């Protein structure tokens, strides 16, 4: 290749990376490049420079729409910045997480974005010790001080949902939750009901983190207290299962029982009843995280150590309504 243009490979390298080259040399080299269809070998470049223009992304699972929407955003941003996406699913498992992490390190990725607490939480020391920038993403538990976090104010989100239900007159609310993962959402909800109190026995943990799990937990909730007027599900998929449980029990949503979800994944606004849910600024979150990371990559400095908690908003649709008057708490009517 170099010989073809009558120059050294160094000059070719200069041309490819846009360094100062005499116009006539430039032309000569570009001609040879075109003729030979020369493509620089990025692996060799990576070996030499130690950087790969590749960013790793950990998610618990891509099948979960919340995460797949995140993957979409992150991929688009990375491509826009000239980076590649190496995707790995942690399956909420510390061992998978660890294996992926070692792999990424050995491959010299430029940065890593890790979403979801489970599995990742056990590898925090190793993540913090990585020799490339790492940020936590959609982190729900107590944020570690060692790593930057870009996430959502989950507790506030739960609070929003709670206020909504309380304002509608609901006093007998059950929670269908993926626990312990979603504890902050439940705490927030509980805060909204502080004065009236929310019975611990009204919190139903799901045995599986899907619609079937939400269905089962909601059935249990309805069995335990046929008088309840609202169900808060800690994410939309569980809410879909909960709605099914309510309807199957012969009750109506929202006339008899209101259901509120969490995430605002695509399509839940179009099913019947359209789901009332807490909406996250997903795009902004992805943007902040990616920029935090790439700024660190570009500067060669460790990433700014922040905890950035984006504020969610409530999206009221058709699945929530006023509590049944015959079940209002005394003095509220």
Partner DNA sequence: TTGAAAGCGCTAACAT
Partner DNA sequence: ATGTTAGCGCTTTCAA
Give the footprint of its own copies on this chain (CB under 8 A): 39-44, 46-47, 52, 54, 61-63, 65, 68-69, 71-72, 75-76, 79, 84-89, 96, 102-103, 105-108, 210-212, 215, 237, 240-241, 243-244, 247, 266-267, 270-272
**The binder of DNA chosen from 34, 41, 82, 330 (CB under 7 A):** 41
| Helices 236-248 and 65-80: angle between axes, nearest 10 degrees | 150
Q: Which is nearer to its own copies, 113 or 149 (CB)?
A: 113
Q: Give every strand in the sheet of 230-233, ordered side by side.
A: 203-205, 173-177, 230-233, 258-260
Q: Which does 318 bind (CB under 5 to 8 A by kind): its own copies, DNA, none?
A: none
Residue 257 touches which member of DNA, its own copies, none, C-beta under 5-8 Å by kind? none
Residues 194-213, one symbol each (x = binds DNA by CB under 7 A, - = not), give --------------------
Task: Rule CB under 7 A: say whether 248 interacts with DNA.
Answer: no
The rounded distance, in Å, linking the Cα atoms of 29 and 38 is 10
CA gap 212, 208 in Å, rounded: 7
21 near DNA, judged by CB under 7 A: yes
Nearer to its own copies by C-beta: 86 or 203? 86
Name which of its own copies, DNA, none residue 92 binds, using a CB cut-off of 5 to 8 Å depending on partner kind.
Answer: none
Closest CA to 115 of 239, 261, 289, 283: 289
Give the span between the Cα atoms of 255 and 38, in whole angstroms: 68
CA pair distance 71, 97, nearest whole angstrom? 17
Eight-class DSSP state of 123: G
Q: What is the CA radius of gyration of the chain?
A: 26
Instruction: Determine the size of the site formed for DNA (CB under 7 A).
Output: 25
40 binds DNA (CB under 7 A): yes
Element (H, E) at 315: strand 313-315
Residues in the chain: 333
Q: What is the smallest separation between the CB atom of 309 and its own copies, expressed in angstroms? A: 24
Whose Cβ is closer to its own copies: residue 63's or residue 194's? 63
Does 302 participate in binding DNA (rule CB under 7 A)?
A: no
> C-alpha angle with apex 237: 291 to 259, nearest 5 degrees?
115
| Residue 203 binding result from DNA, its own copies, none, given CB thresholds of 5 to 8 Å by partner type | none
In whole angstroms, the minimum distance from the beta carbon of 173 to its own copies comes to 22
The sign one gets for the Cα dihedral 293, 298, 301, 306 is negative
Residue 298 touching DNA (CB under 7 A): no
Q: Which is nearer to its own copies, 87 or 205 (CB)?
A: 87
- Of 289, 330, 321, nearest in space to 137 by CA: 289
Residues 42-81 close enough to bind DNA by CB under 7 A: 44-45, 47-49
The residue among 188 and 241 lying less far from its own copies, judged by its C-beta, is 241
Closer of 24 and 326 to DNA (Cβ): 24
Distance (Å, whole) CA 230 – CA 93: 33
CB 263 within 8 Å of CB 299 = no
DSSP secondary-structure letter at 121?
Answer: G
In the complex, the residues that contact DNA under the rule CB under 7 A are 1, 6-11, 13-14, 16-17, 20-22, 24-26, 39-41, 44-45, 47-49
């Amino acid at each position: 290749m170099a010989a073809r243009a009558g120059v050294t490979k160094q000059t070719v390298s200069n041309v490819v990376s846009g360094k100062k080259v005499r116009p006539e040399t430039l032309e000569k080299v570009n001609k040879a490049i075109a003729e030979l269809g020369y493509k620089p070998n990025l692996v060799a470049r990576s070996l030499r420079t130690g950087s790969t223009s590749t960013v790793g992304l950990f998610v618990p699972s891509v099948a979960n729409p919340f995460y797949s929407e995140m993957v979409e955003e992150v991929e688009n941003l990375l491509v826009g910045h000239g980076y590649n996406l190496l995707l790995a699913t942690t399956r909420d498992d510390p061992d998978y997480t660890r294996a992926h992490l070692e792999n990424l390190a050995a491959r010299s990725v430029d940065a890593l974005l890790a979403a979801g607490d489970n599995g990742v939480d056990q590898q925090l020391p190793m993540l913090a010790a990585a020799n490339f920038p790492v940020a936590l993403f959609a982190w729900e538990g107590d944020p570690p001080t060692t790593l930057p976090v870009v996430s959502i104010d989950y507790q506030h989100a739960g609070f929003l949902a709670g206020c909504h239900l309380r304002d509608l007159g609901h006093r007998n609310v059950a929670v269908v939750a993926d626990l312990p993962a979603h504890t902050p959402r439940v705490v927030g909800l509980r805060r909204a009901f502080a004065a009236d109190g929310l019975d611990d026995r009204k919190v139903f943990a799901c045995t599986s983190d899907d619609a079937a799990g939400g269905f089962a937990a909601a059935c249990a909730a309805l069995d335990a207290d046929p008088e309840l007027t609202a169900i808060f599900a800690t994410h939309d998929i569980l809410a879909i299962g909960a709605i099914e449980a309510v309807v199957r029990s012969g009750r109506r949503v929202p006339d008899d029982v209101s259901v509120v979800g969490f995430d605002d994944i695509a399509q839940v606004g179009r099913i019947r009843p359209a789901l009332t849910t807490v909406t996250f600024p997903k795009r902004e979150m992805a943007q902040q995280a990616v920029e935090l990371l790439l700024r660190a990559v570009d500067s060669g400095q460790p990433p700014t150590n922040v905890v950035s908690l984006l504020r969610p908003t409530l999206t009221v649709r058709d699945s929530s309504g006023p509590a049944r008057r015959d079940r209002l708490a005394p003095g509220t009517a």
